[in-house]
Amino acid sequence: MPQKSMDKIMALAKRRGFIYPASELYGGISGFWDYGPLGAQLKKNLRDAWWEDVVLDPCGGRPGPNGEPVRIVPLDTSIIQHPRVWEASGHIAGFSDPMVDCRETKQRYRFDHLMVYVPAIEPQQRPSSEAPRAAVLFAFMPDSPSEAKQRKKAEKAFGEPRIVSLSSIPRPWDRVLAPEAAKPGTLTEPRAFNLMFRTYVGATATEDDVAYLRPETAQGIFVQFKNVVDTTRVKVPFGIAQVGKAFRNEVTPRNFTFRSREFEQMEIEFFCHASEAHAWYAFWREERMRWWRSLGLAGESLQMREHERDELAHYAREGAGTSDVEYRFPFTAPGFGELEGISHRSNFDLTQHQQHARSSLEYFDAERGELLPNGSHKGEKYLPQVIEPSAGLDRGVLALLCEAYTEDSERASPELLLLSRRLAPIKAAVFPLVNKEGMPEVSERLHAALKHRFARLGLIEHDVRQSIGKRYARMDEAGCPFCFTIDGQTLQDQTVTVRDRDTAQQERIAIDRAVEYLGERLAAV
């Protein structure tokens, strides 16, 4: 399969109103993006699909490893939590990346991301006829303009280069030329940089008023665990689901919306007994992979990868581990980028909050413990283990756009989006063949009928401008699966033409069957 162009995908996303640079009127702001009319609807459709399949009908009714229906309850917690929440979770002390600064350009880079072009053969390894010399080493950030720029410099300096991590270059870095720098030797020693956005609560704005925008939605769930148990009839094993904004002060946001400073998460914290944790971890691995496939991310572009031991986060080291659902984006190919992580967090978070808040978060399970003479159980108190499927909503939208992007040179517009009918922001479009002869009036009535029936699922478009071919092309680019056209024959026999986006084939149906026709096809996904 030919490699898709990220530049073309980004251009289409902007041209058709899926994604715009934030604050573009003022030159933009790095790491932030706005969703246009179609992007906002596509994002809502993906969010709604997750909510329907996780909260309203968990796992499509498939039982969990205990043979019972999966139980999930919803929650919506505040973006700003008490600062002690982040002390307990370890974010204040440990949520940081090692950074290096360039003293010349004032740019900052992730130390563990910086790579360096070095000579394929070091000077001391070269034939004696060549005079040894200290070569300049060209640093770059992968997937950034500096990569190609520095490679050209490296090739001019010493032929075919090889790539190593900056961390493997001995100090001092006098020979290292930083990205965009004019002279080598400008990089500082790495230092920790906390990724949380600071803010202030109240009017005085002193250090006593410091708070943070949440870097993840999970901690709000853990803090409210006891309240959820006490105020509902839910029993372990069960999950708490939440969709919400999170913020990370990424030093090098890149790759369109893949790594942003403001993003949205779709998270489940699933609480279970330690004896069942491994089974639930395996269950959620399979279930989340199945869900992404159901949305059209299938084939070799989607994979599940288990983390190596040295990759595990602190909360996962005592559990079964962490797996990532990964997608092959154009900017990661032939490699993959993370869409969702499924982590066995053990009971790390509940333990931390119990200790820092000095309040018991233990769960009393009346169905466990010693069997009593009357046949009931004595009960058991414990801190549940947690399995966390955590997905990126923005990354999901990006993966769907990349997967759906298709080029077909035989069409009026060579670009189209083969989005699933469930997620397509525009479900159908209605066109009069010409804007006269009574056709617009008929098309408006059909548009109103379709909109009344399907507005909760997505947009129903009505367009009277330009040639019919150009209107079809616009809808192809927007990912609209069906177009209904009112023409001269409609006025004679009350039939309309229906065009299928995927095949570009047309058929005629009775106009009074249009609502039923669309309903059948949207329900079949």
Picking from 475, 525, 466, the residue whose alpha carbon sits closest to that of residue 499 is: 475
Residues 153, 158, 162, 165: what is their CA dihedral angle, to the nearest 10 degrees? -60
Query: What is the rounded distance in angstroms from the CA atom of residue 107 to the CA atom of residue 181?
Result: 9
Peptide bond into 65 cis (omega under 30): no
Residue range 6-93+199-297+346-403 in CATH 3.30.930.10: yes
All residues at 6 or more sequence positions from 186 whose CB lies less than 8 Å from its CB, including other chains? 102, 103, 104, 105, 178
Which tens digits make up the pLDDT trace of 112-134? 889 999 988 655 444 444 433 46
What pLDDT is attached to residue 110?
85
Q: Which among 365, 360, 472, 480 has a CA at the least distance from the CA of 418?
A: 480
Round to whole Å and give the CA distance between 435 and 463. Answer: 10
Q: What is the pLDDT of residue 320?
A: 67
Q: CB under 8 Å to 187, separation ≥6 — which residues?
A: 100, 101, 102, 103, 139, 166, 173, 176, 178
Domain ranges of the chain: 6-93+199-297+346-403, 96-193, 413-523
Residues 77/220, Cβ–Cβ less than 8 Å: yes
The span from the CA of 73 to the CA of 238, in Å, is 8
239 compared with 332, residue with greater pLDDT: 239
* C-beta of residue 99 within 8 angstroms of C-beta of residue 114: no
Structure tokens at 313: 């986060």
pLDDT digits 0-9 by tens, 431-458: 999 988 899 999 999 999 999 999 999 9
Greatest alpha-carbon pair distance for the chain in Å reads 93
230-259 per-position pLDDT tens digit: 999 999 999 999 999 999 998 778 899 999
CATH number of 413-523: 3.40.50.800
Among the listed residues 205, 193, 214, the one whose alpha carbon sits nearest the alpha carbon of residue 101:
193
In one-letter notation, the amino acid at residue 246 is A
Query: How are the residues of the chain apportioned to helix, strand and coil, as percentages rounded to the nearest 5?
Result: 35, 25, 40
| Residue whose structure tokens are 């058709």 | 16
Confidence at residue 19, expressed as pLDDT on a 0 to 100 scale: 97
Q: How many CB atoms lie within 10 A of CB 514?
A: 21
Confidence tier at 92 by pLDDT (50, 70, 90): confident
The DSSP-derived string for 389-456 is EEEEHHHHHHHHHHHHEEE-TTSSSSEEE---TTT-SEEEEEEESSS-TTHHHHHHHHHHHHHHHHTT
What is this structure's pTM?
Answer: 0.85
CB 211 within 8 A of CB 83: yes
Q: What is the mean pLDDT of the chain?
A: 91
Find out whether the peptide bond into 481 is cis, omega within 30 degrees of 0: no
Question: In angstroms, rounded to a whole number, what is the distance separating the alpha carbons of residues 195 and 251?
Answer: 8
137-140 and 176-177 beta bridge pairing: parallel
CA distances from 142 to 202, 259, 382 (A): 41, 13, 46
Residue 1 has pLDDT above 80, yes or no: no
Beta-carbon count within 10 A of 260 CB: 23
The answer to whether the beta carbons of residues 266 and 393 sit under 8 Å apart is yes
- The pLDDT value recorded for residue 411 is 85
Q: Where are the beta strands (DSSP E) in 147-289?
A: 161-165, 176-177, 191-194, 198-200, 210-212, 238-247, 262-272
Determine the Cα–Cα distance for residues 127 and 159; give it in Å rounded to an integer: 15
- Residue 119 pairs in a beta bridge with 161
**Token output for 490:** 């409609």
Q: Read off the pLDDT band of 373 (50, 70, 90).
A: confident
Query: Length of the chain in residues, anyone?
Result: 525
Q: Band of the pLDDT at 27, cuts 50, 70, 90?
A: very high
Q: How confident is the model at residue 95 (pLDDT cuts 50, 70, 90)?
A: confident
Residues 6+ positions from 118 with CB-CB distance below 8 Å = 135, 137, 154, 161, 162, 163, 164, 169
Q: In angstroms, rounded to a whole number, what is the distance separating the alpha carbons of residues 152 and 364? A: 64
Highest average pLDDT, of 53-67, 158-172, 297-311, 315-329, comes from 53-67
